[in-house]
Amino acid sequence: MRVAFQGELGAFSEEAVRTFFGDEAEPVPRREFRDVGQAVSSGEVDFGALPVENTLAGGVGPSYDVLAREPLEVIGEVIVPIHLCVMGLKTASLEGVRRVLSHPVALAQAGRFFVEHSGIEAIAVYDTAGAARDVVNRNDAGTAALASRAAAERYGLKLLAENVEDRPDNQTRFLIVTAAESGRGRQKAAAGQWKTTVLLETANTPGSLVRALHCFADRGINLSKLESRPADVPWTYRFFLEFDTDAEADAAKKALADLATHSASVRVLGSYAKAVPSP
Protein backbone atom coordinates (compact mmCIF):
# COMPACT_ATOMS: atom_id res chain seq x y z
CA MET A 1 0.00 0.00 0.00
CA ARG A 2 1.51 3.33 -1.08
CA VAL A 3 0.41 6.56 0.63
CA ALA A 4 1.50 10.01 -0.57
CA PHE A 5 2.17 12.90 1.78
CA GLN A 6 3.53 16.43 1.41
CA GLY A 7 7.13 16.90 2.50
CA GLU A 8 10.17 14.75 3.16
CA LEU A 9 10.57 11.62 5.25
CA GLY A 10 10.50 12.68 8.89
CA ALA A 11 7.67 15.18 8.35
CA PHE A 12 4.61 15.22 10.58
CA SER A 13 2.60 14.11 7.54
CA GLU A 14 4.63 10.90 7.43
CA GLU A 15 3.72 10.37 11.08
CA ALA A 16 0.05 10.79 10.13
CA VAL A 17 0.43 8.09 7.47
CA ARG A 18 2.03 5.67 9.91
CA THR A 19 -0.51 6.43 12.65
CA PHE A 20 -3.47 5.77 10.37
CA PHE A 21 -2.20 2.81 8.34
CA GLY A 22 0.46 1.22 10.55
CA ASP A 23 3.50 -0.59 9.22
CA GLU A 24 1.75 -1.97 6.14
CA ALA A 25 1.92 1.41 4.35
CA GLU A 26 4.80 2.78 2.31
CA PRO A 27 4.92 6.57 2.81
CA VAL A 28 5.62 8.33 -0.51
CA PRO A 29 7.01 11.89 -0.22
CA ARG A 30 5.75 14.61 -2.57
CA ARG A 31 6.88 18.23 -2.67
CA GLU A 32 3.54 20.08 -2.86
CA PHE A 33 -0.01 19.41 -1.67
CA ARG A 34 -1.19 19.38 -5.30
CA ASP A 35 1.40 16.69 -6.04
CA VAL A 36 -0.22 14.51 -3.37
CA GLY A 37 -3.66 14.99 -4.92
CA GLN A 38 -2.42 14.22 -8.42
CA ALA A 39 -0.58 11.11 -7.28
CA VAL A 40 -3.77 9.79 -5.68
CA SER A 41 -6.19 10.70 -8.47
CA SER A 42 -3.88 9.23 -11.15
CA GLY A 43 -3.59 5.92 -9.31
CA GLU A 44 0.16 6.30 -8.77
CA VAL A 45 -0.49 5.75 -5.07
CA ASP A 46 -3.41 4.18 -3.21
CA PHE A 47 -4.07 6.93 -0.66
CA GLY A 48 -2.93 10.39 0.37
CA ALA A 49 -2.73 12.31 3.65
CA LEU A 50 -3.65 16.02 3.58
CA PRO A 51 -3.40 18.27 6.67
CA VAL A 52 -6.54 20.42 6.84
CA GLU A 53 -6.32 22.23 10.17
CA ASN A 54 -4.07 22.91 13.12
CA THR A 55 -5.28 23.92 16.57
CA LEU A 56 -2.99 26.96 16.55
CA ALA A 57 -2.57 27.99 12.90
CA GLY A 58 -6.10 27.14 11.71
CA GLY A 59 -7.05 25.83 8.27
CA VAL A 60 -4.51 24.68 5.68
CA GLY A 61 -5.82 26.36 2.51
CA PRO A 62 -3.76 24.47 -0.11
CA SER A 63 -5.11 21.12 1.12
CA TYR A 64 -8.70 22.34 0.75
CA ASP A 65 -7.87 23.54 -2.77
CA VAL A 66 -6.64 20.03 -3.64
CA LEU A 67 -9.92 18.56 -2.40
CA ALA A 68 -11.83 20.98 -4.61
CA ARG A 69 -9.82 20.39 -7.78
CA GLU A 70 -9.04 16.68 -7.75
CA PRO A 71 -11.52 13.78 -7.97
CA LEU A 72 -10.87 12.51 -4.47
CA GLU A 73 -12.89 10.80 -1.76
CA VAL A 74 -12.25 11.26 1.96
CA ILE A 75 -12.17 7.88 3.72
CA GLY A 76 -10.75 8.77 7.12
CA GLU A 77 -9.08 11.29 9.39
CA VAL A 78 -6.26 11.20 11.91
CA ILE A 79 -5.13 13.72 14.54
CA VAL A 80 -1.40 14.00 15.26
CA PRO A 81 0.13 15.80 18.27
CA ILE A 82 2.60 18.42 17.04
CA HIS A 83 5.66 19.08 19.20
CA LEU A 84 8.16 21.37 17.51
CA CYS A 85 11.89 21.41 18.11
CA VAL A 86 14.63 23.75 16.97
CA MET A 87 17.52 21.66 15.62
CA GLY A 88 20.93 22.37 14.19
CA LEU A 89 24.33 20.94 13.45
CA LYS A 90 26.24 19.11 16.18
CA THR A 91 28.46 22.21 16.52
CA ALA A 92 25.52 24.64 16.81
CA SER A 93 24.14 26.41 19.87
CA LEU A 94 20.86 28.25 20.22
CA GLU A 95 22.74 31.46 21.01
CA GLY A 96 24.51 31.25 17.65
CA VAL A 97 21.42 30.61 15.52
CA ARG A 98 20.47 33.48 13.23
CA ARG A 99 17.78 31.87 11.06
CA VAL A 100 15.27 29.03 11.46
CA LEU A 101 13.78 27.26 8.43
CA SER A 102 10.39 25.54 8.43
CA HIS A 103 7.02 25.23 6.75
CA PRO A 104 4.96 28.44 7.21
CA VAL A 105 2.23 26.58 9.09
CA ALA A 106 4.81 25.26 11.57
CA LEU A 107 6.36 28.71 11.97
CA ALA A 108 2.90 30.07 12.82
CA GLN A 109 2.66 27.55 15.67
CA ALA A 110 5.81 28.85 17.36
CA GLY A 111 5.17 32.60 17.43
CA ARG A 112 6.14 32.99 21.07
CA PHE A 113 9.57 31.44 20.44
CA PHE A 114 10.37 34.02 17.76
CA VAL A 115 9.14 36.87 19.98
CA GLU A 116 11.42 35.68 22.76
CA HIS A 117 14.33 35.23 20.33
CA SER A 118 13.94 38.39 18.26
CA GLY A 119 17.42 38.03 16.77
CA ILE A 120 16.38 34.85 14.95
CA GLU A 121 14.78 35.20 11.53
CA ALA A 122 11.97 32.79 10.62
CA ILE A 123 12.32 31.65 7.01
CA ALA A 124 9.50 29.77 5.28
CA VAL A 125 10.38 26.71 3.21
CA TYR A 126 8.24 23.95 1.75
CA ASP A 127 8.48 21.39 4.57
CA THR A 128 9.56 20.83 8.17
CA ALA A 129 11.64 17.72 7.50
CA GLY A 130 12.93 19.30 4.30
CA ALA A 131 14.15 22.19 6.43
CA ALA A 132 16.09 19.73 8.60
CA ARG A 133 17.68 18.22 5.52
CA ASP A 134 18.56 21.72 4.25
CA VAL A 135 20.37 22.49 7.51
CA VAL A 136 22.61 19.48 6.91
CA ASN A 137 23.23 20.48 3.29
CA ARG A 138 24.06 24.10 4.18
CA ASN A 139 26.52 23.00 6.88
CA ASP A 140 26.07 26.36 8.63
CA ALA A 141 25.90 26.44 12.43
CA GLY A 142 23.90 29.68 12.24
CA THR A 143 21.03 27.97 10.40
CA ALA A 144 18.55 25.74 12.23
CA ALA A 145 15.26 24.02 11.44
CA LEU A 146 11.90 23.84 13.19
CA ALA A 147 10.66 20.27 12.88
CA SER A 148 9.93 17.05 14.75
CA ARG A 149 12.21 14.95 16.91
CA ALA A 150 11.89 12.27 14.24
CA ALA A 151 13.36 14.67 11.68
CA ALA A 152 16.28 15.45 14.00
CA GLU A 153 16.99 11.74 14.40
CA ARG A 154 16.66 11.03 10.67
CA TYR A 155 19.05 13.79 9.62
CA GLY A 156 21.46 13.57 12.54
CA LEU A 157 20.79 17.00 14.02
CA LYS A 158 21.10 18.22 17.60
CA LEU A 159 18.07 19.51 19.49
CA LEU A 160 18.69 23.13 20.49
CA ALA A 161 15.23 23.81 21.96
CA GLU A 162 12.32 21.42 22.54
CA ASN A 163 8.54 21.82 22.59
CA VAL A 164 8.55 25.42 21.35
CA GLU A 165 4.96 25.28 20.08
CA ASP A 166 2.77 28.02 21.57
CA ARG A 167 0.55 25.49 23.37
CA PRO A 168 1.35 21.98 24.61
CA ASP A 169 -1.92 20.61 23.18
CA ASN A 170 -0.94 21.59 19.63
CA GLN A 171 -2.43 19.12 17.11
CA THR A 172 -2.99 18.79 13.36
CA ARG A 173 -5.87 16.98 11.73
CA PHE A 174 -5.26 15.12 8.48
CA LEU A 175 -7.81 13.80 6.00
CA ILE A 176 -7.04 10.49 4.32
CA VAL A 177 -8.09 10.48 0.67
CA THR A 178 -8.29 8.02 -2.19
CA ALA A 179 -9.35 8.30 -5.82
CA ALA A 180 -13.09 8.85 -6.24
CA GLU A 181 -14.98 5.71 -7.20
CA SER A 182 -11.96 3.54 -6.35
CA GLY A 183 -14.08 1.32 -4.11
CA ARG A 184 -11.79 1.95 -1.12
CA GLY A 185 -14.25 4.15 0.81
CA ARG A 186 -17.09 3.48 3.28
CA GLN A 187 -15.03 2.19 6.18
CA LYS A 188 -16.98 1.21 9.25
CA ALA A 189 -17.68 3.58 12.12
CA ALA A 190 -19.57 3.06 15.35
CA ALA A 191 -23.01 4.59 15.75
CA GLY A 192 -22.67 8.28 16.50
CA GLN A 193 -19.03 8.34 15.38
CA TRP A 194 -19.51 9.26 11.73
CA LYS A 195 -18.36 12.50 10.11
CA THR A 196 -19.06 13.76 6.58
CA THR A 197 -17.23 16.36 4.50
CA VAL A 198 -19.11 18.33 1.84
CA LEU A 199 -17.94 20.86 -0.73
CA LEU A 200 -20.49 23.43 -1.82
CA GLU A 201 -20.78 26.68 -3.72
CA THR A 202 -23.72 28.89 -2.89
CA ALA A 203 -25.46 31.36 -5.16
CA ASN A 204 -24.04 34.86 -4.76
CA THR A 205 -27.28 36.23 -3.32
CA PRO A 206 -28.28 37.60 0.12
CA GLY A 207 -28.96 34.85 2.65
CA SER A 208 -27.81 31.96 0.46
CA LEU A 209 -25.30 30.64 2.99
CA VAL A 210 -27.77 31.04 5.87
CA ARG A 211 -30.36 29.01 3.99
CA ALA A 212 -27.75 26.35 3.25
CA LEU A 213 -26.82 26.03 6.92
CA HIS A 214 -30.47 25.85 7.98
CA CYS A 215 -30.76 22.62 5.96
CA PHE A 216 -28.75 20.94 8.71
CA ALA A 217 -29.95 22.90 11.75
CA ASP A 218 -33.59 22.18 10.90
CA ARG A 219 -32.85 18.44 11.05
CA GLY A 220 -30.79 18.49 14.24
CA ILE A 221 -27.47 17.81 12.48
CA ASN A 222 -24.41 19.38 14.09
CA LEU A 223 -22.00 21.23 11.80
CA SER A 224 -18.50 20.78 13.23
CA LYS A 225 -16.54 22.75 10.64
CA LEU A 226 -17.07 25.51 8.06
CA GLU A 227 -14.13 26.65 5.92
CA SER A 228 -14.23 29.05 2.98
CA ARG A 229 -11.79 29.18 0.08
CA PRO A 230 -11.66 31.37 -3.06
CA ALA A 231 -13.52 29.83 -5.98
CA ASP A 232 -12.62 30.05 -9.67
CA VAL A 233 -14.37 33.38 -10.27
CA PRO A 234 -12.88 36.41 -8.45
CA TRP A 235 -14.71 37.35 -5.22
CA THR A 236 -16.70 34.13 -5.13
CA TYR A 237 -16.12 31.37 -2.61
CA ARG A 238 -16.54 27.67 -2.06
CA PHE A 239 -17.32 26.24 1.36
CA PHE A 240 -16.25 23.04 3.06
CA LEU A 241 -18.77 21.76 5.59
CA GLU A 242 -18.29 18.94 8.05
CA PHE A 243 -21.22 17.45 9.94
CA ASP A 244 -21.46 14.78 12.58
CA THR A 245 -23.33 11.95 10.93
CA ASP A 246 -23.15 9.56 7.99
CA ALA A 247 -24.28 10.97 4.64
CA GLU A 248 -26.40 7.82 4.25
CA ALA A 249 -28.44 8.57 7.39
CA ASP A 250 -32.05 9.58 6.64
CA ALA A 251 -31.72 13.06 8.18
CA ALA A 252 -28.49 13.70 6.26
CA LYS A 253 -30.03 12.56 2.96
CA LYS A 254 -32.91 15.01 3.44
CA ALA A 255 -30.53 17.82 4.44
CA LEU A 256 -28.32 17.24 1.41
CA ALA A 257 -31.30 17.11 -0.94
CA ASP A 258 -32.54 20.38 0.51
CA LEU A 259 -29.03 21.84 0.30
CA ALA A 260 -28.89 21.14 -3.43
CA THR A 261 -31.90 23.44 -3.95
CA HIS A 262 -30.11 26.33 -2.20
CA SER A 263 -26.66 25.90 -3.76
CA ALA A 264 -24.96 26.29 -7.10
CA SER A 265 -23.19 22.95 -6.57
CA VAL A 266 -22.88 20.29 -3.86
CA ARG A 267 -20.35 17.47 -3.69
CA VAL A 268 -20.15 14.94 -0.86
CA LEU A 269 -16.45 14.19 -0.41
CA GLY A 270 -16.97 11.26 1.92
CA SER A 271 -18.23 9.87 5.23
CA TYR A 272 -15.75 8.32 7.65
CA ALA A 273 -15.02 7.51 11.28
CA LYS A 274 -14.17 10.45 13.54
CA ALA A 275 -10.62 10.60 14.80
CA VAL A 276 -10.02 10.63 18.55
CA PRO A 277 -8.20 13.82 19.60
CA SER A 278 -5.04 13.46 21.65
CA PRO A 279 -5.48 14.11 25.40
What residue ranges define each of the domains in the chain, with the CATH number in brackets? 2-81+170-179 (3.40.190.10), 85-161 (3.40.190.10), 194-273 (3.30.70.260)
Q: Which of 55, 172, 178, 197 is catalytic?
A: 172
Spatial contact of 202 and 196, defined as CB atoms under 8 Å apart: no
pLDDT of residue 165 exceeding 90, the answer is yes
Q: Which of 20, 47, 113, 174 is catalytic?
A: 174
Residue 174 annotated in active site? yes
pLDDT of residue 188 exceeding 80, the answer is no
DSSP collapsed to 3 states, the chain = CEEEEECCCCCHHHHHHHHHHHHHCEEEEECCHHHHHHHHHCCCCCEEEEEEEECCCEECHHHHHHHHHCCEEEEEEEEEECCCEEEECCCCCHHHCCEEEECHHHHHCCHHHHHHCCCCEEEECCCHHHHHHHHHHHCCCCEEEEECHHHHHHHCCEEEECCCCCCCCCEEEEEEEEECCCCCCCCCCCCCCEEEEEEEEECCCCCHHHHHHHHHHCCCCCEEEEEEEECCCCCCEEEEEEECCCCCCHHHHHHHHHHHHCEEEEEEEEEEECCCCCC
d(CA 56, CA 182): 34
Question: Which residues have a Cβ under 8 Å from the Cβ of 119 and sit 6 or more positions away?
Answer: 98
pTM for the structure as a whole: 0.92
pLDDT, one tens digit per residue, over 87-143 is: 999 999 999 999 999 999 999 999 999 999 999 999 999 999 999 999 999 999 999
Residue 197 annotated in active site? no
Average pLDDT over residues 57-83: 96
Q: What is the pLDDT of residue 185?
A: 67
pLDDT of residue 237 exceeding 80, the answer is yes
- Percent of the chain scoring above 90 in pLDDT: 90
pLDDT of residue 70 exceeding 80, the answer is yes
Which amino acid, residue 45? Answer: V
Q: What is the pLDDT of residue 227?
A: 96
